[in-house]
Amino acid sequence: MTAKTVLIVDDEPKVSDLIKAYLEKDGYETVIAGDGKSAVDLARSKRPDLIVLDLNLPEMDGLETFRNIRTFSDVPVIMVTARDDEVDKIVGLHLGADDYVTKPFSPRELAARVAAVLRRYAEGPRAITKLAVGDLHVDFDRHEVKYKNELVALTAAEFKLLSVMAKSPGRVFTRLQLMDSAFGETYEGYDRTIDAHIKNIRQKFSKITGETDAPVITVRGVGYKLE
């Protein structure tokens, strides 16, 4: 079996070397980046199976690095920070991080988390027939969506887009990620078409509630997420 490659992103060589030693002891191959730009370049060229990403990086910080990587890759990411800051945790995980550890951490614990995240990805997603996100209920077998117990009449394209976001509530998707996940990489539409579909979805939710807010939120400069 081919060894999994882990990209370690940290500006402290002692920390990177310690993580490297533990991961290589467990049979992983490792690549190290000391800053955000190098991390983005290596994520693109080396295509690692997982990234351990420090948030406190010089110049381009960890969150900005994460956003850049997410424009071209869905590689699983474990975020690391020296600050036990709940806001950072919420922001990081809502962008789509798979796990989160705070310094100082046990290298053995981090190695175990790496194994757990990779195992989840290897197992693949389980078949989902129904799910609920707050007042939103999606029935994939019936191809139905209910919001606040009211049926929402979505087109096939709208249902696909909402389903992608509903399976990862809180995660921010770029337009390209939504387009690829909902319609496939061979889809020839424009990414701005996503904006029109999202607008229609929001209008249909608003008709039910009589309010202007909707569970699909715009994240400026990034894309959309489902709250």
CATH code of residue 63: 3.40.50.2300
In angstroms, rounded to a whole number, what is the distance separating the alpha carbons of residues 166 and 5? 30
- Looking at residue 19, its pLDDT comes to 95
- Looking at residue 89, its pLDDT comes to 59
pLDDT tens digit string along 80-91?
A: 887 665 555 555
Domain that holds residue 66: 5-123
Q: Give yes or no for residue 10 having a pLDDT over 90.
A: yes
* Mean pLDDT along residues 200-214: 81
The domain boundary residue, chosen from 78, 108, 123: 123
pLDDT category at 173 given cuts 50, 70, 90 is confident
Q: Are residues 22 and 107 in the same domain?
A: yes
Q: Are residues 12 and 116 in the same domain?
A: yes
Q: Are residues 12 and 111 in the same domain?
A: yes
The domain boundary residue, chosen from 106, 123, 140: 123
The DSSP output letter for 221 is T
pLDDT tens digit string along 119-135?
A: 877 766 555 678 888 88
Q: Are residues 51 and 118 in the same domain?
A: yes
The domain boundary residue, chosen from 123, 149, 171: 123
> How many domains is the chain partitioned into structurally?
2
Q: Are residues 21 and 112 in the same domain?
A: yes
Q: Give yes or no for residue 95 having a pLDDT over 90.
A: no
- Looking at residue 212, its pLDDT comes to 64
Q: Are residues 110 and 19 in the same domain?
A: yes
* Structure-token match 């979505």, residue found: 154
* Mean pLDDT along residues 203-225: 82
In angstroms, rounded to a whole number, what is the distance separating the alpha carbons of residues 9 and 15? 10
Q: Are residues 9 and 111 in the same domain?
A: yes
Q: Are residues 164 and 196 in the same domain?
A: yes
- List all residues 6 or more positions away from 81 whose beta carbon is below 8 Å from its beta carbon: 54, 55, 56, 62, 88, 92, 100, 102, 103
Q: How many CB atoms lie within 10 A of CB 128?
A: 12
Q: Give yes or no for residue 51 having a pLDDT over 90.
A: yes
Whole-prediction pTM: 0.57
- Looking at residue 13, its pLDDT comes to 93
CATH code: domain of residue 189: 1.10.10.10
Q: Are residues 80 and 109 in the same domain?
A: yes
Q: Are residues 119 and 135 in the same domain?
A: no
Q: How many CB atoms lie within 10 A of CB 110?
A: 20
In angstroms, rounded to a whole number, what is the distance separating the alpha carbons of residues 60 and 68? 10
- Exposed/middle/buried for residue 173 (C-beta within 10 Å: 0-12, 13-18, 19+): buried
The DSSP output letter for 125 is P
Please tell me the number of Cα atoms within 13 Å of 102 on its side-chain side. 6
Q: If you average pLDDT over every residue of the chain, what do you get? A: 84
- Looking at residue 216, its pLDDT comes to 87
**What percentage of the chain exceeds 70 in pLDDT?**
87
- Looking at residue 91, its pLDDT comes to 57
